[in-house]
Chains A and B, each alone.
Chain A
Amino acid sequence: MAVERLLPDTEAEDLIALARDIAANELAPKAGEYEEKELFPREQFRLLGRSGLLGLPYPERWGGGGVSYEVYLQVLEEIAAAWMTVGVGLSVHTMSCYALAEYGTDSQRDEWLPDMLGGDLLGAYALSETHAGSDAAALSTRAVLDGPDYVVTGTKAWITHGGQADFYTTMVRTSPDGGRGISCLLVPADTPGLSASAPERKMGMTASTTAQMIFDGARVSTGRRLGEEGIGLKIALSALNSGRLGIAACAVGLAQAALDEAVRYAKERSQFGRSIIEFQGMEFLLADMAAAVESARATYLEAARRRDRGLPFKRQASIAKLVATDAAMKVTTDAVQVLGGAGYTKDFPVERYMREAKVPQIFEGTNQIQRMVIARELRNKA
């Protein structure tokens, strides 16, 4: 069932129609098989690139779409509803372009941004390390100046698109100064000394490659540093504010897909001589699922509209990420319940949705960290 959306203009309507078309014809039919066989959907990302969907919320001057977050996130939701791995990948790619788009110089942007936004390239965002997850400021991958280059040594952990991406927006330590000793480098994938470990073996989103990226004396030109030395953590956290909106939108798409599947099944399945959707116990379950999906959508849209108007949106982004990913976990779990034994089998997609829903509660800041961000804002505002 297509989600009814209130869109600002016909271009946005046509854009959503394009996203739905691609989602229905190119993504949804492949998702089950690719997830089962752990195949990375590289071709599908190329198609998104050709269609202009890999740079939507960035300026047209550098080949972006010049689209508002309000519209971009709804495109993302449609893509994630068809295939979570591709939705999250699109969100991560978009986030990986943020540092250059917002903090790069014009000549850096002119040189690299059009290729990153315009199609064939896929990006990754490398902040986490094994011992520095929630506490990102503790990261220890070192970048030491040597003539015109930084020599980078250390291991980035949990990198979405690790080994698949063409560039890595990487946070490195340039001084021992804690959170103020971190800088941001745009590292091309073919940098000598950069390699990927074997991918993680995950519970869900198995078509999405997650791997450690190993920097072993990798030389990266200082011309590839984005922003001043020492502001890397600030850039990383600012990218995450927008990235969290992307994850919220993906979670809503996933929850919507689970709800649609549950409603479809509940209408068809009968027990005690009636469609199970007619039992009040099922009705209330489905109604709660719909309420969770739609309130989560409203929450991310509100945050997006603030961002589009240039208002602060950090707290709202954290709330959206928290609300939407918890909603997706609940809704996908309940969808399995609605399908009964069938829901627990791989003959239906809801067990996969449930596995996929777990990780958005963890990445881009665990939901505990979101609560910390929200509470800190409350404390500081009062």
Chain B
Amino acid sequence: MPNIVVLVKQVPDTYSERKLASADHTLDRASADAVLDEINERAVEEALQIKEAQGGEVTVLTVGPERATDAIRKALSMGADKAVHVSDESLHGADIIQTAKVLAKAIGTVEGYDLIIAGNESTDGVGGAIPAMLAELLGLPQLTHARKVEIDGTSVKVERETDAGRTFLEAALPAVISVGEKINDPRYPSFKGIMAAKKKPVTTLTIADLGIDASEVGLANAASQVLESAPKPPRAAGQQITDEGDGGSKIAEYLVSQKLI
């Protein structure tokens, strides 16, 4: 009966305007709706499918500000059993290495975990490095970009898919895996799930609870600094071609001019 920890992150909704705060180039959290990252919905779904087949327990873990409780509730209403929320003012502006360290310590508070499931990369930070860093910090095998996961009592098999192709991996548990877009279609929560979520245990921890000193984290202690940021230039208006019998060749000409064919 696997004991699974799913790493979930709250991110600005891709449908709303996303921007950085001008003062310190961190995410302007007030400007956008915050949602559970879709790739993390898939991670939760995978954990729930394993649990439905084999039993066990699913814990979701997030490092994020107070309002990340909304993302936690979403995961719990989908069916996860409990949650750990690391919330601490001093984490504002934390970089990816700090985040990985905090996550590693927080995972340590979950007794007897067998499997850690993350998204392959978040839609806001797009670092794609957390799973690897965690595996390093915890001394565990990493199986990333999974499109298929199978576990039995002692080992995990993963079908890994990237642009480069497919690989078939196996490792002993416990292990860290990250899932890609194709892994599954996440379920909708049900209203019963929503009602049940409010009764599920959520442990809130500060970094002090994890034995981390405030001087090790936050914007001031980040390994790299954002000096400047600018929004992506707006996309130029599309080119319209009117089909006067020669539409096909005009499109082909365009594609040739763009070196696409």
Binding site for B on A (CB under 8 A): 10-11, 14-15, 17-18, 21-22, 47, 50-53, 56, 65, 67
Contact = CB atoms under 8 A, between A and B. Distances in A.
Contacts of B191: 15, 18, 51-53, 56, 65, 67
B178 interface: no
A63 to B, nearest CB: 9
Contacts of A17: 74
Interface stretch (B17-25, B105-113, B118-126, B192-200): B192-200
B198 A10 contact: yes
Interface in B175-219: 188-195, 197-198
Contacts of A18: 77, 188-189, 191, 194
21 contacts: A10-B73, A10-B198, A11-B194, A14-B74, A14-B189, A14-B194, A15-B191, A15-B194, A18-B77, A18-B188, A18-B191, A21-B188, A22-B188, A47-B188, A50-B188, A50-B190, A51-B188, A51-B190, A51-B191, A52-B192, A53-B191
Contacts, number: 37
Interface of B: 73-74, 77, 188-195, 197-198
Contacts of B189: 14, 18, 51
Nearest to A25: B188
Nearest to B192: A52
A14 B191 CA distance: 9
Contacts of A10: 73, 198
B73 A14 contact: yes
Contacts of A50: 188, 190
A143 B193 CA distance: 43
A17 B194 CA distance: 11
Contacts of A51: 188-191
B32 to A, nearest CB: 13
A138 to B, nearest CB: 40
A47 B185 CA distance: 14
A22 B77 CA distance: 15
A3 to B, nearest CB: 14
Given A52-B192, A53-B191, 14 more contacts: A10-B73, A14-B74, A18-B77, A18-B188, A18-B191, A18-B194, A21-B188, A50-B190, A51-B190, A51-B191, A52-B190, A52-B191, A65-B191, A65-B195
